[in-house]
Structure 1
Amino acid sequence: MSSMFSMLKDLHPSVTTSVIKVRVVRAYEVPFNGNAADIMSLECIFHDAEGSKIHASFGRAVLRTIAVNISEGNCYVMQKFYTRPNHMRYKTTNHAFRLTMTQKTQIYQVIDDEFPFHMFSLKPFPEISTIENLHDEALFDVVGVVVDSGGVVNQPNAKMMELKLEDEKYYSIILSILELLQNVIICTLWEDFVDQFLAQVDGYVQQISVIVVQFCRPHLYKGQVRISTSFNVSKVTLNKGLPEINEMRQRIFGVQRFIETINLTFKVEPKKLVDENEIMDVKSIEDVFCLEDGCYWICGRIDHIESNGDWFYLACKRCSKKVVKVEQRFMIRVNVVDATSNATLLLWDRECVQLIGKRAWEVDVSTAVVDGIPKEIENKLLEKFVLFKVQMRNDADFRLDQPYTINKVCVTPEIVEKFASKIMESQTENSAANESLTDLAFGYDVKESQSQRIKTFPEELDEILVKDEELDDSLERGAWITESGKRGLEELSDDGVFLKNSLERGAGIIKSGERGLEELSDDGVFLKKLKKEKDGVFLKKVKKEKADGVFLKKVKKEKE
Structure 2
Amino acid sequence: MGMYSLASELSTFKNRSAMKVRVIHTYLVKEKKGSSDIKSQELVLHDLEGTVIHASIPAKIVPKFIHSFVEGKVYGVKNFYVVSNWHTYKTSMHEYMLQFNHKTIFKELRSENFPWYMYRLRSFDSLKGNSELNEKELIDIIGRVVEVYGPQEKNIGGHNARLIDFVLEDAHGKKLTYTFWDEHVSKIEHLYEAPSKDPMVRSKSAHLMMDSLRDIGYQTPMRSIASLSSFSFTNTMDEFSSKSIELITINEIYDNDKYGDFWVAARISGIVNPTDWFYSSCRKPGCNKKLKISEGVNKCFKCLKIWEDGILRYKITLRVVDMKGNASFLLWDRECLELIGIPAAELYERSNKTNEPLQQITYLVGKTLLFQITAKKDHTSHRNTPFPVLRINNDPQVLKEHCSQLLKLQDNECNSDMPISLGDDDFLEGFLSDEAESPIAILPPVAVGDATEGPVKRCLLDQFSST
Q: What range describes the TM-score normalised by the shorter chain of this pair?
A: 0.3 to 0.5
Q: For the pair shown, which has the larger CA radius of gyration, 1 or 2?
A: 1
Which has more helix, going by share of residues?
1
User: TM-score, with normalisation over the residues of structure 1?
Assistant: 0.35
User: TM-score, with normalisation over the residues of structure 2?
Assistant: 0.42
**Greater length-normalized contact order (CA 8 Å, ≥ 6 residues apart):** 2
